[in-house]
Amino acid sequence: MSMPRLHLEEEYRNPHRRGLKKGLYLIPSLFTAGNILMGFYAVMAAIRGFQFVIGSEANLARASTYFDNGAKAIGLAVLFDMLDGRIARMTKTTTEIGIQLDSMADVVSFGIAPAVLAYVWGYGSSLAEGSDLHGLAWALSFMYLMCGGFRLARFNVQASRPRLLAEGTTKVDKKYFVGLPIPVAGGLLAAIIHFTPWPLVGYSPERAQIYSLLLMALVGFLSILMVSTLRFSSLKAVGTRSRSMRTIILVVAFAMVIFLYSRHVLLLLAIAYILHGLFSRVIGLFHRRSERSEAKVEIKPASG
């Protein structure tokens, strides 16, 4: 019996395996498509809510509902973004097209959607149009989008060229991200809006201006963090080492806590993640200084 005939018989006996393998490649892409859908929905909800920000209190209530739904959509996009990568790694179906599509989805869901949502919910309606502050707020929203796009582009370059890059960037450590991940930045803005979806224009003019300035400062700060060289944990090792029943119970309990108290828990999680990265950098600087001082003491020649 010739080799081609053996090969044909093997394919005849197991035709489902090739189809199953091809089907596995679709699963991460479906979650990526869900990510894009949530980002698109968030933008549409922001546009719809902006139509009701000026008017009666009933209109403001309708606007807050749209803004809250848009913020929830961004939260779901974060979940889809976490799952598509994990599923691709677990099933070994990671592809170059999938990586690029995931980055495009992140630009929509965590770049455009949060920038638009923060603008229409916050300073876009509470600051006088044509004023210097309003122009600065518009520019900050655009800067946030550009910094998020740069953050994603740098990540893709580092993933494809993990050796020495521009400015002496060393080999990529898969345990950490260089710069604040854009899903966390967009997630924090969405968590704030989900925590208090009432539009800022609905407050008194003085309070609305103060809140708008604080929001502008936050958007600028997040933009700087995304293009910085600070290291943030990738969390890729979470839940991969232990698959015991206790771990499953903890995951289910954590999901229930988020479902019941999402307004508080999601905001605390985003803030805690960012603060952890900042404090880790500060602690690392102090640790290096102490090591250098100890090294200088050790090499100091003894007096005769």
Give phi and psi for 239, each to the nearest 5. Answer: 80, 5
* pLDDT value, residue 1: 45
**Burial track 261-291 (b if 16+ CB lie within 10 A, e otherwise):** ebeeebbebbeebbeebeeeeeeeeeeeeee
* pLDDT value, residue 243: 58
Q: Are 127 and 55 in contact (CB under 8 A)?
A: no
Residues 6+ apart with CB under 8 A from 220: 140, 143, 144
All domains in the chain, ordered by first residue: 9-237 (1.20.120)
User: Of how many residues is the chain composed?
Assistant: 304
Q: Would you call 176 helix, strand, or coil by DSSP?
A: strand
1: amino acid identity, one letter: M
d(CA 52, CA 63): 5
Give the DSSP H or E segment for 177: strand 176-178
DSSP category for residue 261: S
Mean pLDDT of successive 10-residue stretches along the chain, which has 304 residues = 47 48 72 94 95 88 96 94 81 75 92 95 88 92 95 82 50 74 96 95 92 96 94 70 70 86 93 90 69 57 50
Would you give the distance in Å from CA 277 to the centre of its chain?
Answer: 14
Is the Cα torsion angle 193, 199, 202, 204 positive or negative in sign?
Answer: positive
Q: Per the structure block, which two tokens stand in for 158?
A: 């580092």
Q: Would you call 53 helix, strand, or coil by DSSP?
A: coil
Q: Per the structure block, which two tokens stand in for 203?
A: 């407050």
* pLDDT value, residue 198: 94
DSSP category for residue 107: I
Would you give the distance in Å from CA 250 to the centre of its chain?
Answer: 23
* pLDDT value, residue 12: 43
pTM, 2 dp:
0.81
Q: Are 45 and 70 in contact (CB under 8 A)?
A: yes
